[in-house]
């Protein structure tokens, strides 16, 4: 009796496979699977976006709680001085009577000053003394002092006369 029962089950399965609706059922099933996969992906994306927004809001709130501490140190003008020296170097390059070493002196001084880890308070401390910096002499020191006092740099204009 069991073998007959198994045979009828096998025939029923075979009939289902031979059924013309099999392809339509499979297509419908696959469409349902795609639809549910899209839904799950959409839900996961929403959840991830919500989590990221919550994390960003928490970070912003934490940042807002921190008080802003004002520095008591005087403002560091090293980069302003370096920028002014760089501009002088460019001016020297663009002059009609180009004098080679001055352009290089200004650009080297600007580079060295921009790398300092302490604020420049006077040009003479960089030209002479314990804080001596290579490439800064009395001429550049005078320009730095002038910049710290007045906010401008006016290089001394040498008159070499007519170059033969």
pTM higher than 0.75, yes or no?
Answer: no
Q: How far is Cα 122 from Cα 99, in angstroms, rounded to an integer? A: 27
Is 149's pLDDT higher than 60?
yes
Residues 105-129, mean pLDDT to the nearest whole number: 89
Q: What is the pLDDT of residues 10-47, one digit of tens each?
A: 555 555 555 555 567 777 777 787 778 778 877 877 78
Is pLDDT larger for residue 33 or for residue 83? 83
Closest Cα partner for 82 from 107, 110, 103? 110
By three-state DSSP, how is residue 158 classified? Answer: coil
Closest Cα partner for 135 from 119, 114, 153, 117? 114
Is pLDDT larger for residue 101 or for residue 99? 101
Q: What is the mean pLDDT of the chain?
A: 76
């Amino acid at each position: 009796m069991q073998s007959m029962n198994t045979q009828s089950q096998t025939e029923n399965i075979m009939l289902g496979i031979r059924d013309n609706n099999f392809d339509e059922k499979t297509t419908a099933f696959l469409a349902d699977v795609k639809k549910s996969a899209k839904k799950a992906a959409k839900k996961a994306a929403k959840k991830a976006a919500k989590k990221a927004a919550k994390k960003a809001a928490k970070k912003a709130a934490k940042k807002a709680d921190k008080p802003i501490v004002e520095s008591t140190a005087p403002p560091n003008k090293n980069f302003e001085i370096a920028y002014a020296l760089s501009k002088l170097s460019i001016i020297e390059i663009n002059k009609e009577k180009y004098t080679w070493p001055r352009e290089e002196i200004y650009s080297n001084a600007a580079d060295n000053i921009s790398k300092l880890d302490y604020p420049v308070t006077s040009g003479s401390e960089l030209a002479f003394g314990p804080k001596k910096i290579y490439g800064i002499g009395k001429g550049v020191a005078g320009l730095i002092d002038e910049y710290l006092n007045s906010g401008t740099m006016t290089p001394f204009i040498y008159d070499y006369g007519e170059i033969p």
